[in-house]
Amino acid sequence: MKRLIALLAALCCLAALLTPVWAVQDEGTGADTGETGTAATDTGDTAEDPDASGEGGEDATDSAASDSETDPEADQAADAETDSETGSDPAALTETAFQSVTITCTVDESGRAYFQETLELSIVGSVQEITFTFPAEAKSPKVDGYKTKSSTENGVRVLTVSNDAGFTGVQTFQLSFNQTGLVTAGEASQTIRLPLLSPQAYPIAAVSFSVTFPENFSSTPSFESGYYKDVIEDMMTVSTSGGVVTGITNKGTVLNDNETLTMSLTLPEGYFSGNFGEGIGAIVLLVLSILFALLGLFYWFRLLRNKTLRVSARSLPPDGVNPGDLPFLLAGGDADFNMLVSYWASLGYVSFFINQAGHVIIRRRMEMGNERRAYERKLFLLLFGDESYCDGASLHYKKVGSKAMTVIPRYWARRIFDKRSGSPFLAQLLCCLACACSTTLAMDALAPESMHFLFLIASFIAGFAFSYCLQKAASAYYLNDWVRTGIGVSCGFLLLLVGLLGGAGLATVIAGGASAFVGWQTAHGGRRKPEGDDIVAQTLGFRRFLLNATDHHAQQMLRRDPQYFYKMLPYAEAMGQGRRFTALFHGVRLETCPWYEVAKGTPTTPAAFYDHYCETLAILNVSIRK
């Protein structure tokens, strides 16, 4: 019994000696991982070898300490990766992107919105072109301080800024535009949708905006983006104070390229005046512009339309037509009394004498009998009376010329135009009113708020004038008046440009197109009789001959009739082809003109004679117009 008690006591002492070793193993190998501690406890070899247990404990302790030191670095790496994905630091962006976009918008009582945007672009490398987008309905879009090239892509307005030297680094751009038509009507309410952000070409790290309304409101605005939809509201901080809405994207929110942002706000009925932002005046002008243009075209179709003329070149003047009639027959213009007197001279009734002082004296050579028309005999009698000469610079000559410019158109109007013909003037007036309305509509969007009404009045007058000049371009073309033709065409382009810039492109195209068409179709007057078609076709055929005649043909005609040049010159001059006609006879020696005498010597070369003849006509024109 004593021996058994002694054995148990020895085992207890041995267990007491081994307890510190097991404690070290538990602390060194099992602190971090329970599996390691369990393995150490279960393995008998480790428990029996204190040295081995000590070394293993030290290694386990070092490993645990190493893991504890690397954990903060791993956390920092994870944080850095998260920041890189969210882009919370704009300066750290590694691609070209907008660091910030600041939007300021002011909405007036009619619902028109005025936008000012500041875009700070961080450019990696260098780019020569930067594009900025605007809403398709934006009016007066511009990039302050830069010349831009405008285009339309994917339904949005695009302005391109170019720099041959390239853009680099951080660049700041100021954008501005205004827009109407943003307000729609609801049931006892009005809703405005503001396009705060158009789809720009680069990502945006931060967006802030401020929208000022004309009056206070209690409604809550809603927001929607192209990519995030209505979830974008959770990514912004928005506040409303009185009539001002401000907002900013949360830190870490990056908007992708081509992202959009739209704010919607529902307000009480009557908050905005006018026809929900478009303005009743704009609607009226649009309707009037299109209506006037259509009325002008309808009036032409019903009362002025003629058959297509068959024109062929002819070397002789139209039958029964004198040079003074040509401006009216070709382009509906005033008769040319000077050309009529020149025609009388070529027939032998009168002659021109230019004295030493340069005065033009018209001498009567013989009486005019019944072989000429009644109105010609009356004009001839008024010009001379009982006298044998008339001073070309006298008031008397002017009075007779004024009478002729009234009588001649009246004579031809009765002969060539149908009694049921409408008035070309009325069709042209309707088209002028159409262009005036479309120009006013465009200027309503372009004109500044100060003196806005005066700008609208001026634009109405300008549109009327543009249309008038555009219509007269066709008449000037037939008379070879390239100055007036150029002015008319330029006015047409200006009309179109103003319309496109002011957002009234459709109305301007319709009105301007109607003006050009009616001006062309009424250049020769109203609806004609068959006889009238024949006379106008002969006149155009003779004009075509003068335009296409060659030197050989003209000089061949001169050999047949030595007076051919003097007979045809008044006709050519009446159609604006005098200088070209004269050039066909270069190097030719002419006979002396029997009806044109100069005290200092009558020129006998075509060019010299034509220059002197033009001086005479200029003196007579001054007499008529003074």
pLDDT exceeds cutoff 50 at 88 = no
Dump pLDDT digits (tens) for 155-184.
889 999 999 889 999 999 999 999 988 888
- Band of pLDDT at residue 273, cut at 50, 70 and 90: confident
% of the chain at pLDDT higher than 90 = 63
pLDDT of residue 491 exceeding 80, the answer is yes
Q: Inform me whether the pLDDT recorded for 32 exceeds 80.
A: no
- Is the pLDDT at 62 greater than 80? The verdict is no
Nearest CA to 625 out of 392, 469, 411, 425 is that of 392
pLDDT digits (tens, 9 = 90+) for 395-437: 999 999 999 989 999 999 999 999 999 999 999 999 999 999 9
Model confidence band, residue 445 (pLDDT cutoffs 50, 70, 90): confident
d(CA 93, CA 355): 89
Q: Is the CB of residue 470 less than 8 Å from the CB of residue 516?
A: yes
The 10s digit of each residue's pLDDT in 582-619 is 999 988 888 999 999 999 888 889 999 999 999 999 99
Q: In this predicted structure, what is the pLDDT of residue 93?
A: 53
Residue 42 has pLDDT above 70, yes or no: no
Per the prediction, the chain carries an average pLDDT of 84
Structure tokens at 402: 């004024």
What is the rounded average pLDDT of the residues 376-383? 94
Q: Cβ contacts of residue 373 below 8 Å, gap of 6+?
A: 411
The tens digit of pLDDT for each residue in 309-326 reads 999 999 889 999 999 999
The pLDDT of residue 25 = 39
pLDDT at 551 over 60: yes
What's the pLDDT band for 521 if we cut at 50, 70, 90?
very high
Cα(295)–Cα(300) distance, rounded to whole angstroms?
9
Mean per-residue pLDDT, 72-94: 44
The mean per-residue pLDDT over the stretch 500-510 comes to 90
The number of residues making up the chain comes to 626
**Is the pLDDT confidence value at 278 over 60?**
no
In angstroms, rounded to a whole number, what is the distance separating the alpha carbons of residues 579 and 607? 8
| DSSP code string of 17-35 | HHHHHHHHHHHHHSSS-HH
Mean pLDDT of 240-266: 93
Q: What is the pLDDT, as a whole number, of residue 4? A: 42
pLDDT of residue 274: 57
Pick the residue with more confidence: 23 or 521?
A: 521
Q: What was the pLDDT predicted at 269?
A: 85
Name the pTM for this structure: 0.60
If pLDDT is split at 50, 70 and 90, which confidence band does 449 have?
A: low
- DSSP letter string, 143-194: ETTS-EEEEEETTEEEEEEEEEEEEEEEEEEEEEEEE---EEEETTEEEEEE
Q: Which tens digits make up the pLDDT trace of 557-589?
A: 899 999 999 999 999 999 999 999 999 998 888
Whether 206 shows a pLDDT value over 70: the answer reads: yes
At 40, the pLDDT band (50, 70, 90 cuts) reads very low
Tokens of 33: 């991982």
- Specify which residues 598 forms β-bridges with: 354
Task: End-to-end CA distance of the chain: give it in Å, rounded.
Answer: 162
